[in-house]
Amino acid sequence: MKKVSAAFIVWLLVFTTFLGHSSVQAKEAHVKNVIFMIPDGFSTAYATSYRWYKGEKSLMDEMLVGMHRTYSANSAVTDSAAGGTAMATGQKTNNGMIATAPTGEKLPTILQAARANGKGTGLVTTTTITYATPAAFASHVKKRTDEANIAPQLISNKVDVLLGGGKKFFSESLLKKAQEEGYQLVTDQNMLRKTKVEKKILGLFSEEALSPELDRHYTDQPSLADMTMRAIDHLKKKKKGFFLMVEGGQIDWAGHANDPVWAMKDIEAFEEAVKVAKQFAEEDQNTLIVIAGDHDTGGFSVGGYNRYAANVKVLRKVKATGQFIANQLNQDRSNSKEVMKKYTGLNLTAQEMKEIQTSAQAKLAVNKIISKRALIGWTTHEHTGVDVPVYAFGPGSEQFRGLQENTDLPRIMAKLMNLSYPFEKNS
């Protein structure tokens, strides 16, 4: 008995020493840079489907650390404005509001805190740079639709790198002011490659949002990975480090359209951006990557239609989004069989042809047929309130383990970066 007790005491001493050492390591984790990557609309169902679509684990899978709750201040189901605000400010707000409390006061953001502490800052998105998620990090408006008022705030907040769509929200006078503030304006992929890293960058690659990844080859727009790489190239020159938010914004849009192929290809493009960020973090050793969607969109499911099966391989043959395919139909949609064969590889039945010809929105009929053939289910064209996975890599990544509130994410990042910031308010 004495031998057992002695052995136990030795084991306990070793174990507690290990825990103490681990705790010290966690406390001493040095986070100079944070890359916060947001696959908008992404949830566990998308992660599962993408794994089947890809045929192997995703790069994100090995970084999985926990989950987070997405509800807003006034609803169990958040929108991107309230979700983005929570992830940018550490505080809940009502749906539709951008970095503004339900009472109307402005909420300081982690990006603004990073800049106030001498760090470089950047926002990258495949939507408009003035859309809900990027806007929540560097502007304050009561209504997310006020993009024309968001645009000048991005410039006045002196965000070092702004890359995305939304040129129509930047007036000529605002673009002139941006240049006076030291921004170099770029409008296509080639110009982005030639930017000077010592100057601020305003990249506006489309009047509205960028093209879905499936259709991007028809444009001269950069990929999300291209934009992420250029943003890092610029921001890594900052002596005090940087905060960069990268959004794969059209996973959400694909969910709204119930377009599974659009979703898979934009997740693939997002994963390529993650690869760029991870390579930098591995080399730098002082960079934390956090990945978390802001909510689920579409009520996506792997399998459906009363069958114990999935047929995601169908998606690999589809060459365009449902919207693009619908645009190829003639006025009476009588060419639906030929168009669908060309862009999806599917041979339509007479019933499926009728569905496309009689649908109020041809793109939704196209997406429904593709989804059903792939045995992918959808419950809505809107958001849902399910919890969303959190991934992390780099120093401090263990701090994100378990079930978090979405408001916890920026609080933990700020603490790890040792930012002076009032996240404790209303906690």
Nearest to 80 by CA among 127, 124, 36: 127
DSSP states along 227-290: HHHHHHHHHTT-TT-EEEEEEETHHHHHHHTT-HHHHHHHHHHHHHHHHHHHHHHHHHSSEEEE
DSSP states along 413-427: HHHHHT----TTTT-
Which one is predicted more confidently, 6 or 257?
A: 257
Interior CA angle at 270 toward 154 and 179, to 5°? 25
Cα distance between residue 424 and residue 86, in whole Å:
13
Q: What is the mean pLDDT of residues 38-59?
A: 97
Across-strand partners of 246?
Answer: 37, 124
- Tokens, residue 120: 């470089």
- Tokens, residue 50: 């993408």
Per-residue pLDDT at 19 = 35
Q: Is 201 helix (H, G, I), strand (E, B) or coil?
A: strand
Q: What is the mean pLDDT of residues 20-28?
A: 39
pLDDT in tens, 197-244: 889 999 999 999 999 999 999 999 999 999 999 999 999 999 999 999
The pTM of this model reads 0.92
Residue 421 banded pLDDT, cuts 50, 70, 90: low
- Tokens, residue 89: 């400010």
Q: Which of 43, 80, 206, 336 is catalytic?
A: 80
Say if residue 227 is exposed, middle or buried (CB neighbours under 10 Å; 0-12, 13-18, 19+).
buried
pLDDT in tens, 351-404: 999 999 999 999 999 999 999 999 999 999 999 999 999 999 999 999 999 999
Across-strand partners of 125?
Answer: 247
Per-residue pLDDT at 309 = 85
Residue 10 has pLDDT above 80, yes or no: no
Q: What is the mean pLDDT of residues 16-20?
A: 36
pLDDT in tens, 153-196: 999 999 999 999 999 999 999 999 999 999 999 999 999 999 99
Q: With pLDDT > 90 as the criterion, what percentage of the chain qualifies?
A: 89
Residue 24 has pLDDT above 50, yes or no: no
Q: Looking at residue 212, what DSSP letter applies? A: P
Cα distance between residue 243 and residue 119, in whole Å:
7
Parallel, antiparallel or unpaired: strands 388-393 and 287-292: antiparallel
Per-residue pLDDT at 29 = 65
Per-residue pLDDT at 422 = 63
Contacts of 323 (CB under 8 A, 6+ apart): 257, 259, 363
Identify how many contiguous H helices and E strands the chain contains and give both numbers: 16, 14
Phi and psi torsions of 303, nearest 5°: 95, 150
Per-residue pLDDT at 1 = 45
Cα distance between residue 162 and residue 406, in whole Å:
24
Residue 15 banded pLDDT, cuts 50, 70, 90: very low
Mean pLDDT computed over every residue of the chain? 92
Residue 425 banded pLDDT, cuts 50, 70, 90: very low
Q: Looking at residue 393, what DSSP letter applies? A: E
Domains defined along the chain, listed by start: 29-298+381-417 (3.40.720.10), 301-377 (1.10.60.40)
Per-residue pLDDT at 394 = 98
pLDDT in tens, 121-150: 999 999 999 999 999 999 999 999 999 999
Residue 84 banded pLDDT, cuts 50, 70, 90: very high
80 in catalytic set: yes
Interior CA angle at 25 toward 24 and 29, to 5°? 120
Residue 21 has pLDDT above 60, yes or no: no
Distance of CA 299 to the CA centre of its chain: 17
Cα distance between residue 409 and residue 249, in whole Å:
19
- Tokens, residue 10: 């030795």
Cβ pair 151, 174 in contact under 8 A: yes
Residue 7 has pLDDT above 50, yes or no: no
Per-residue pLDDT at 30 = 81
